[in-house]
Amino acid sequence: MLKKLIYHEFIATGRIFLPLYGAFLVMSILLRVYIGVQQAWGFELPDWLAVIGAIPIILYVLLFIAVIAATVVVAILRFYKNLITEEGYLMFTLPVKVHQLVNSKLIVATVWSIISGLLCTLSVFILIVTSDIFKAVPYWWEIIYIQAAEQGLYLTGWLLFELIVSMLVSIIGSFIMIYAAIAATNFSSNHKVLMGIGAYLLINIVLQTITSIVMISGGFLMNETLVSMLTSPKNYMGFIDLTVWGSTAITVVTSAALYWGTCWVLKHKLNLN
């Protein structure tokens, strides 16, 4: 049943994202052509036409922001509308468990976030890529790699894997935190929006406090190890590994707690008034 929920969630959200993505890609290509023609012909627009000439850039920036913000906005609206408002009467009569409803929203939101990030990267690539850049990348990469290695920083596939895992966990954790704040609105019959905003801010404060306590405590307990890592270039990668995996572990634990809390509230404290 989870597959069906995910499928229908993709269909519903795809009506928003696919046209937006298409418009963003087309605008990226048009802006690249516009900049290329302007550079090739070497002309400058008169002052009175400068505003018109800036329109493509303004549209591109607006679409860029929209692509980034859309995943968060749609995730909030879909979760709130489907599970907290009157639509919840229908959703919670389906033969599915509460965690499956939450999982479907979470998976789809995460996938769209990844696609949005890749699309923004592709857009920037479209705007800046030239044959000279392709030739320069290997040269500069070798220099950066050697310089970083001399300082004890090794830009390897393992480091890339660590960063990807950390980023993915962070994305999932961010959506779980949003869902937990929305679920908290069930404790209020009125002023649900204010309740959600307040819950989100409170969750942020609590999580930051917990993270700070854990990091400070870990720093005291591993003081000698950390000093050794920071004073020896050979141990820099160990410090980076510890930092990345430590922060990832904290995010996983706190997200798991918020996820459980969200499902518990939707199951036992649901208030669709």
pLDDT computed for residue 223 by the predictor: 58
User: Look-up: residue for tokens 């269909």?
Assistant: 11
- Per-residue pLDDT band at 88 (split at 50, 70, 90): confident
Check pLDDT > 80 for residue 220.
Answer: no
Which percentage of the chain shows pLDDT scores above 70?
77
For residue range 13-28, what is the model confidence (pLDDT) as tens digits? 999 999 999 999 999 9
- Cβ proximity of 149 and 159 under 8 Å: no
Distance of alpha carbon 136 from the chain centroid: 30
pLDDT of the residue at 45: 58
| Residue 219: per-residue pLDDT | 61
For 156-211, how does the pLDDT look when each residue is reduced to its tens digit (9 = 90+)? 778 788 889 999 999 999 999 999 999 988 887 777 778 888 889 999 898 888 88
Ordered DSSP codes for 243-263: HHHHHHHHHHHHHHHHHHHHH
Residue 259 pLDDT greater than 90, yes or no: yes
The position carrying tokens 């519903």 is 12
Inter-residue long-range contacts of 128-133, CB under 8 Å, 24+ positions, other chains counted: none
Q: Which of 94-108, 118-132, 168-182 has the highest mean pLDDT?
A: 168-182
Is the pLDDT reported for residue 77 higher than 70? yes
Domain residue spans in the chain?
A: 1-129, 136-273
Amino acid 263: pLDDT: 92
- Dist CA 172 CA 52 (whole Å): 41
Instruction: Kindly report the pTM of this predicted structure.
Output: 0.85
Contact 70, 20 (CB under 8 A): yes
- Give the separation between CA 201 and CA 262, rounded to whole angstroms: 16
